[in-house]
Chain A
Amino acid sequence: MPKSLVRRILEGKPLRQPLHTMLVHFPIGLFVVSLVMDVASYFGAGDYALFRGSLYTLCAGVAMGLIAAVPGFVDWTDIRRDNPAKGIGQWHMGLNLLVLLVYGISIIARFSMTDPRRVGLPLIFTSLAAIGLLSVSGYLGGMMVYDDGIGVGRHRRRAPAPSRTIALPSTSAEEGWVPIPGAEHMEDGQTLRLDVGGVIIGLARVGTAYYAFQDFCTHRHGPLSEGCFMGDQVMCPWHGSRFDLRTGHVTHGPAKKDINIYEVRNLNGEVSVRIPEAKVPTTARRDSARSGTEEREWKVEPEDITSPTTEQAPRAE
């Protein structure tokens, strides 16, 4: 099987939702019920069956946790390096491995008990601590989804999300055009996330056309560079707002405001974008003023700019 197909499956793209989040129900639920059974066996009359039942749920929980770790790790590798979720994901992973380790030790301790009728307080408190860690870790996992939108709308895209934000100084610009190194090698549907002198823009290649646009959706500011490109439209990964990449107009809600778009030109394979001076945040503007960059009327020849493709019709509702 090709590597990219394995990756697609582990990311749950055919299912339109991540595999990891479907699997994590199991360790969470099973560990909780095991603690409940432990407490019941502690207060009960000493019940061998309850002890065994709790042990079964623990073993199943650890097994499912190990399985869930695989797609979870693949999901993590997909997160852009400067996204806050990247760091959260590291904590999430570390805590989860710790929880699995604690339960692994707990299982060994249970198997080696001489009178396996009732778990003692040490094991109950171990489980309690592990559930505490698991709650923190689960909360962090939830943050990645509900705060940073990791995995949301990802299946609508074939190309991987940009792995980092490429910083380019706008002050090195010649006539306001900032060349994008490597953009000529971009594949159809691929995107870059650029920081041009403080302005965060997405650059997409659709067919033979290049589009530059503000990377933030105007609804809840989802990353458009991780969106889905259909002809001359981009669809936000989070709630599906659509924007026309030639004009920046909203073509489909929930967003109400238009996005900024930026001029792109392709001169014999050298792709550059131009950020209007007014759009550059004030700190960056001051720097360029000091370096003596002056504004000049710049006329672009029509053939310099790639024409937007119309091959792909926007997807119907």
Chain B
Amino acid sequence: MRPTTPPEFAGKLAAMAKRLTLKDILQGKPLGHPLHPLLVHLPTALWPAALVFDVISFARKDGDISLTLATWWCLLVGLVAAAAAVPAGIADWTSIHRERPAWKIGLIHAGLNTAVMGLVIANFILRCIRGPAEPSVTVAQLTLSIISVLLLLPSGYLGGLMVYDQGIGVARTSKDYWRRIARAGGARV
């Protein structure tokens, strides 16, 4: 959110609070920053990190339970953030016009993420059954980690394309700020 003068900011907040819908909150409008890209940092980082820990643990086979434990926590924290990111992502997606390419990209992104979520939940349950701190990963767990990351990477890439190629969420809250600058610069707005 662009800084404005304090009274203007207070007025904006008051006006916003009156008409704030659930969708606005999910889109991060009160925060002045889209919520979905903020939340997805955690699963995007932690699930590949979990895979790295798994691979090291599998390759070394020396029974370092701190690696399997780190994986367990990475999966868990990632799942919590991902669960929160789902409604935020859906709210952002419903604002995209159907004829824009981003609509379809968003659909594929959502589909891939659903698959990844399912795999990670399965992976996590497997680990909980055996206990979080096992001396080494099983082949089944490692396979689940690998497949989920293989699906997660293209999905994250598509999410990035929506922002950096299609501009989804860009200048959503700052457009008034830029309009003022444009008008002062003699532009048609």
Contacts and interface: CB of A to CB of B under 8 A. Distances in A.
A, B bound: yes
Contacts of B19: none
Contacts of A153: 164-165, 167
B188 A218 contact: yes
A37 B188 contact: no
B74 A216 contact: no
Interface string A238-250: 1110000000000
A107 interface: no
A29 B78 contact: yes
Contact of A198 (B77, B166, B186): B186
A214 B179 CA distance: 13
For the complex of A and B, list the 6 residue pairs with the smallest distance between their C-beta atoms, beginning with the closest. Answer: A29-B45, A200-B185, A52-B66, A53-B70, A216-B182, A221-B178
Contact of A29 (B46, B65, B167): B46
A78 interface: no
Given A29-B41, A142-B38, A259 B167 contact: no
Given A149-B170, A238-B167, 18 more contacts: A21-B164, A25-B45, A25-B156, A29-B49, A37-B70, A49-B65, A146-B174, A151-B164, A153-B167, A198-B185, A214-B185, A214-B186, A216-B189, A218-B189, A220-B171, A222-B171, A239-B166, A239-B170
B187 A53 contact: no
Contacts of A111: none
Interface residues of A, number: 67
Interface string A4-31: 0000000000011110011011111110
Given A49-B65, A57-B70, A143-B33, A152 B178 contact: no
B173 A147 contact: yes
Interface in B1-18: 1-2
A222 B53 CA distance: 43
Interface in A114-155: 138-139, 142-143, 145-149, 151-155
B28 to A, nearest CB: 9
Q: Is chain B's binding surface mostly helix, strand, loop or mixed?
A: helix
A195 B167 contact: no
B42 interface: yes
B172 interface: yes
Contacts of A238: 167, 170-171
B188 A214 contact: yes
A152 B164 contact: yes
A32 B66 contact: no
For A33, A56, A152, which residue has the most chain B Cβ atoms within 10 angstroms?
Answer: A33
A16 B161 contact: yes
Nearest to B174: A147
Interface in B46-94: 46, 48-49, 52-53, 64-67, 69-70, 73-74, 77-78
B3 to A, nearest CB: 9
Nearest to A140: B33
A165 to B, nearest CB: 10
Contact of A259 (B42, B53, B78, B187): B187
B104 interface: no
A286 interface: no
Contacts, number: 193
B106 interface: no
Given A18-B164, A29-B41, A258 B65 contact: no
A214 B187 CA distance: 6
A199 interface: yes
A232 interface: no
B73 A16 contact: no
B73 A33 contact: yes
A81 interface: no
Contact of B66 (A15, A16, A18, A53): A53
A259 B52 CA distance: 51
Nearest to B43: A29
B153 to A, nearest CB: 10
A258 B173 CA distance: 23
Contacts of B171: 146-147, 149, 220-222, 238
B170 A53 contact: no
B69 to A, nearest CB: 5
A56 B185 contact: no
Contacts of B170: 145-146, 149, 152, 220, 238-239
Given A200-B185, A221-B182, A280-B186, A30 B167 contact: no
A21 B187 contact: no
A281 interface: yes
A199 B75 CA distance: 53
A56 B94 CA distance: 39
